[in-house]
Each structure stands twice: as structure tokens, then as C-alpha cells.
Chains A and B, each alone.
Chain A
């Protein structure tokens, strides 16, 4: 073929689009593309904060089907390596896919066998890139995520946020979902102005418990069964099946709640 012959199609409309061989509209229609438009089975809030020795992250064990509290044993905190926890709220099927992706990432990195391990900052960057890429295709993973861990050789406490649009930010206290409005002010009270650097483990855990309690009272899609993970230079301490005390007796005095005496 001469070069001139090769240039023949340049600038010309493709034959099979402008001169379809079939008159059937169905055959000539563009392929159907489906995109995520709404989350179906969802997880609620995730909260995390830095403290003196590391970071703490917590999430309840509920997956809701709209307003139905459907699954009570969902673990929404995922361990990645020995220094990172990823806590995810939002669509659970997207969360499960992200879990698989992170596991593949972990295995691939481990196989290099070069002594380097993925740090929380790497995982956060990777996750936010994945979110942003899907957002640009208008087909997002419908999640809000918190990446928490101890980063680098210095084992610096690290807590960062990434969401379905590719938004990211880092702060000493981070929350997703309803907790942004209900829990973040409480967490910021104990972590602002570098106060987290002298925050003890007990007080950090107390702050988390208080936040979970408030969420249980006020978030209609929450559960009093949660997991909390503490990450320090020594590794990950994962506690499951946690719960907080709560007072509901006042409800009896409320008109409309409890059993009606009159």
C-alpha cells in the first residue's frame, strides 16, 4: 500500500456510522452504559483521631438497606499491612470492591520483597486517585473513606479523608457521614491546637465512645455495636463487638414514644 492510499480515510467520516448497513435502529444505537446513581446497601459514619502514641479509628457494624437496618455484623474497618486501617462508609458493594483492590495492592507490593512496605500516606493517595478517576467517568465508588495509621520511618500519626468525588483532606480529627456534623466538633475539642500530641489513649477512647453514643442517639442509621482500631508504632490493636451505654428511660415521658398509659 502506498502512503497516499493509507491517508485516504483521514478526515472522512467512518462509513459504518454514516452509512449504516442495517436499518434496524436497535443495532445502530450506542451501547448502553450503566453508572452508579445511588448507593443501595450503606454503611454510616466512620470517626478517627490522632493521639499521643498514634491514631484511633472507629466504625459501627451496621449496613442499612435504605431505612431498614439490615446487616449487623459488617466490619467496616479494613487492615492494610501492619500500619494502616481504612474505614469506609457509603455503598457496601463498592466498599467490598475497594477491599479487594487494596488487598491486591498489598500483595503486589509485598511480592517485590525489597523491604519497603506501603505507608498510610501511599494508600490514601492511591485511594483518592481511584475515587477521582471514577468520578471523572461519572461512575463513582459511592463512599467516604478514612485512612488512618502511622506513617513512615518516624511512625508519624496519620489520618486522612477521601470521598466519592476525589476530595481529600487531612486533620488531627476526621469523620465521615453524619459524624461530620455530630462527632467532629467533639473530636476537635480534644485534638485542636496540637492538643492531640498530649492526648492519652484512655481519653482518646473516651472521646470515641462519646461520639458513638451521640451518633447512636441522633443518627437514625446507626448501631450500638462497633469496632475500634488503635494503630501505634507497635502495630494494630483491633477491638470488635464494642458498645456504649445509653439512657432511653426519658423516652417514656415523651409524648409519642414508648407505651401510652392514658
Chain B
């Protein structure tokens, strides 16, 4: 997908072969973003984000990027971060508006639909630009767990497992091996950590931290950060499996 628009890409209008180049270029912004994966299991949804630590001065585990919407929805974005923050804000407005009108929590499918429509709006006019993010919507409502991903052109699909960002190909291969019909939340946390570690590019030798949230039966339907001890356990498991047990610091009895 590296063709140049030659004149039809300086605004949002169709090229002679029926493509919206600006909308396609938005995908490029996401391709270089940090790896983000979502796993929908039997009883809940996990969202995991790999954050490269760009400076030692940054406070560890601060600057969270996965946001809560209402009580039961989590949104993670990867790509152009400020666009992601804007989508999160819009999602919160939508959830608030639904609660004001209907007195109940916004269903996951409605949330995804609202965001999909919103993102698509920005592919209609040359006076705005499309969002350069993939947005993951994790929700747990009366109908159970939901996982959706909204792309920069507004299309969205429901998934059992999905990834975006730099390591999406490797992540996708790993996700396809999982059995979503039997996976439980606590195991999914471990798998998510393992997959993030598998995609991490060792050559660039940069430190990273994993930000992981979950929503489902384990959390009573509230979207929260995965507890620290469970996350440590998952990362230790990931290190062991991915690095083949060569790491001396990992205790043997996990």
C-alpha cells in the first residue's frame, strides 16, 4: 500500500480509481504506533498496550492511555496519541448522553457504532483530517463481553482478538492460536502479556512497560487496571515463555 496519490491525495475526494487517499494515509499513522491488543474471553475483555519508555525521566506507570468510559467500557487507542484522547472524550460524551436519555449504561455495540460514525464523519470533508488511530472498545454489559476495533476510515468490526500498531502481525499470529471459547480472564491477562513480549523488538533495546486493563466478571463489570500482582505474574510468565527461561531473575515456582 505504498502508492502515491499524485494529486488526488491533497484533500478528501475520490481518486480516479475510487480511493480516498487521505483516509488510507491515516492507516500509516497507526502502523508505527505502539502495539495494542484486545482479547475477548468467555467472561470478560482484556486490553493491553505496550508503551515504549522514551525517557528515563518519565514517571513509571503514570500517563495512562487506556481510558474508562462510564463504568463498564474501556477504550484504548494506538497511533497518533492526541487523536486517541479526543476519541476517548467523544466516547465519554456519548456514554453520558445515553445515560441522560435512557437512564442506563450504554451497550457495547452502541458505543462502537457511535464512535464508528464519528470517525467516518472526518473522512467526508477536506476541511478536516481523518483520525490517525485505531480505537479498541472493550465493554461488558447485559449481553456479556464485547470487543470492537474502529479503523481510521470509520469501519469497525467485533472481534474475539485483535491487534494494531507496530507488532500487529506477530500479535495477530499469536492471537489466532488462542481458544477464545474457553479462555478465562486471568489466563487472558497472561496471554496478553506474553503476546506483547513476543512482539517487542529486542534489537532496539528500549525499555517498555505494559499497560493492561480488564472488564468482566472478575471485576464485577467495572473497567479497571489489572491489579499489580497479577500483572507482575503475567509479565514473569511472558518473560519465561518468550525468552525461553534464560532469564536468571525469574523465580522458578510461578
Tell me the A residues contacting B by CB distance below 8 Å.
Answer: 100, 103-104, 107, 110-111, 113
Contacts and interface: CB of A to CB of B under 8 A. Distances in A.
A111 B68 CA distance: 5
B71 A113 contact: no
Contacts of B96: 104, 107
Given A107-B70, A107-B71, A113 B225 contact: yes
A103 B70 CA distance: 10
A198 B108 CA distance: 49
A111 B64 contact: no
Interface string B51-73: 00000000000001001111100
| Majority DSSP secondary structure for residues of B touching A | mixed
Contacts of A103: 99
Contacts of B103: 100
Interface string B202-221: 00000000000000000000
Contacts of B69: 111
A111 B99 contact: no
B101 to A, nearest CB: 12
B96 to A, nearest CB: 7
Given A104-B96, A104-B99, 4 more contacts: A103-B99, A110-B68, A111-B70, A113-B64
A132 B99 CA distance: 26
19 contacts: A100-B100, A100-B103, A103-B99, A104-B96, A104-B99, A107-B70, A107-B71, A107-B96, A107-B99, A110-B68, A110-B71, A111-B67, A111-B68, A111-B70, A111-B92, A113-B64, A113-B67, A113-B68, A113-B225
Interface in B72-97: 92, 96
A172 B190 CA distance: 49
Nearest to B66: A113
Give the most central of A100, A103, A104, A107: most B CB within 10 Å. A107
Interface of B: 64, 67-71, 92, 96, 99-100, 103, 225
A100 to B, nearest CB: 8
A103 B96 CA distance: 11
A171 B16 CA distance: 76
A104 B71 CA distance: 10
B6 to A, nearest CB: 44
A20 to B, nearest CB: 37
A8 to B, nearest CB: 34
Contacts of B225: 113
A137 to B, nearest CB: 21
A111 B64 CA distance: 12
A118 to B, nearest CB: 14
Contacts of A104: 96, 99
A32 B103 CA distance: 29
A107 B67 CA distance: 12
B220 to A, nearest CB: 12
Nearest to B96: A104
- Nearest 4 pairs between A and B by C-beta? A111-B68, A113-B68, A113-B64, A107-B70
Contacts of A107: 70-71, 96, 99
Give the most central of B68, B69, B225: most A CB within 10 Å. B68
A75 to B, nearest CB: 16
A132 B19 CA distance: 58
Contacts of A111: 67-70, 92
A204 to B, nearest CB: 30
A208 to B, nearest CB: 30
Nearest to A111: B68
Nearest to A106: B71
A103 B100 CA distance: 11
A83 B36 CA distance: 35
A107 B64 CA distance: 18
A104 B103 CA distance: 11
A196 B181 CA distance: 55
Contacts of B70: 107, 111
A87 to B, nearest CB: 22
A115 to B, nearest CB: 10
A100 B71 CA distance: 14
A107 B92 CA distance: 10
B58 to A, nearest CB: 16
A61 to B, nearest CB: 21
A19 to B, nearest CB: 41
A107 B68 CA distance: 9
B47 to A, nearest CB: 13
A218 to B, nearest CB: 37
A110 B103 CA distance: 18
A100 B101 CA distance: 11
